[in-house]
Amino acid sequence: MREVQASQAKTHLPELLDEVERGETLIITRHGRPIARLVPENDRRQAEIDEVITAMEARRRHAAGITVDDILSARHEGRKP
Give the DSSP H/E element, type plus range, for residue 37: strand 33-38
The mean pLDDT of 4-19, rounded to a whole number, is 96
Q: Name the domain count of the chain.
A: 2
pTM of this structure = 0.51
The Cα–Cα gap between 4 and 61 comes to 42
The domain that holds 24 is classified in CATH as: 3.40.1620.10
Residue 6 shares a structural domain with residue 25: yes
Give the range of the structural domain holding residue 68, as residue numbers without chain letter: 42-76
pLDDT tens string 13-64: 999 999 998 889 999 999 999 999 998 887 667 888 899 999 999 888 887 7
In a domain, 81, yes or no: no
What is the per-residue pLDDT for 62?
Answer: 80
Tally Cβ neighbours within 10 Å of residue 69. 8
Give the DSSP H/E element, type plus range, for residue 42: helix 42-62
